[in-house]
Chains A and B, each alone.
Chain A
Amino acid sequence: MKTNEPTEQTLDTLLRTPLDVPDDGFSAAVVSSIARQRPGSWPLAGEMLWAAWLLALAGAIIALPWERTAHWLASLSQQWNAWLLQTQALSHPLWAQTEQWSTTMAGWLPVMLALGLLWMLMALVED
């Protein structure tokens, strides 16, 4: 057996040794950080801004006329295609897919926004 091999007792003693961490000005640093935050600042300002932003985003998701937005995006895409054809700047077949792509993307937009909102809410709750 190796002389320094930790026995059952050694490990138990090691684990039960109190965590001796001297203050070293740590608590004073915490208190001074609090004092710096206090004058003229609202401790919850950050959280309130987040909440307001999330509410605005949620409101936008609920209130926006998504069907009209999708039509508008599709029409924009058609105009874009027409302009491309007219100018003949691009003749690559990929551009023919633009209209379909933009309509699909418009359909997915609310889902993506909702997922983003969910992700941010989870990050807030975890904290």
Chain B
Amino acid sequence: MPDADEHALLAAAQRDDVAAFGQLVRLQQGRVRGFLRRLCGDHALADDVAQERFLLAWRRLRDFRGEGSFGAWLCGIAYRRFLQSQRRQRRETVLNEAHAREWQEAGPMLETPALQQRALERAMTHLNSQEAAAITLNITLGYSHAEVAGILGLPLGTVKSLINRGLPKLRAILTSSAGVSHEDQ
């Protein structure tokens, strides 16, 4: 969608036009929900957080000054909410237990694109939140390093090192999971 259209929708939504905001949600929901799914690993939880964040975005729409993209602003508020929920319930402990058995029973996880994506999602949950967020925002969602730094509220150098550190970890996790699957055959 051209930026001009998004700007027009944003301007309308900032004048309390719910229908325009609905169109913005339709345009951005995949990005925000996909981002949160990569961070949480739990689709239902990610969708709940996303819905709550869109409602907050509606209430705070006037705070958006258009300094970055609307999608980046949404990802930023989604990420902050994710960090809050993570503080309440450490995702590592929950996810590691929940996924450990699933990981072992998954079989040849890298056979179909859907399974490949699921394997990637699971592997992402084994990175720390900042690494997972930086990699998803930069490589999958295509934000520049500077934009990612703005979304995560981190220095540019930190974002680059998070990505450089996270990618080898991700590769190692995926390699070991593929190995486990094969040895189980």
Contact = CB atoms under 8 A, between A and B. Distances in A.
A18 B140 CA distance: 6
Interface in B34-77: 34-35, 37-38, 47, 50-51, 54-56, 58-59
Contact of B54 (A5, A18, A30, A44): A30
Contacts of A44: 59
A89 to B, nearest CB: 44
B158 to A, nearest CB: 19
A11 B33 contact: no
A59 B158 CA distance: 41
A31 B24 CA distance: 11
Interface string B99-124: 00000000011110100110010000
Given A2-B182, A5-B175, A6-B110, A17 B59 contact: no
Interface in A17-68: 17-23, 26-31, 33-35, 37-38, 43-44
A19 B141 contact: yes
Contacts of B7: none
Size category of the binding interface on chain A:
20 to 34
A21 to B, nearest CB: 4
Contacts of A26: 25, 29, 33, 47, 50-51
Interface of B: 18-19, 21-22, 25-26, 29-31, 33-35, 37-38, 47, 50-51, 54-56, 58-59, 80-81, 84, 108-111, 113, 116-117, 120, 135, 139-141, 167, 170-171, 174-175, 178-179, 181-182
20 contacts: A2-B182, A6-B171, A6-B178, A11-B167, A14-B117, A14-B120, A18-B140, A19-B30, A19-B38, A19-B141, A21-B34, A22-B30, A26-B33, A27-B22, A30-B54, A31-B22, A33-B55, A126-B80, A127-B56, A127-B80
Interface of A: 2-6, 8, 10-12, 14-23, 26-31, 33-35, 37-38, 43-44, 126-127
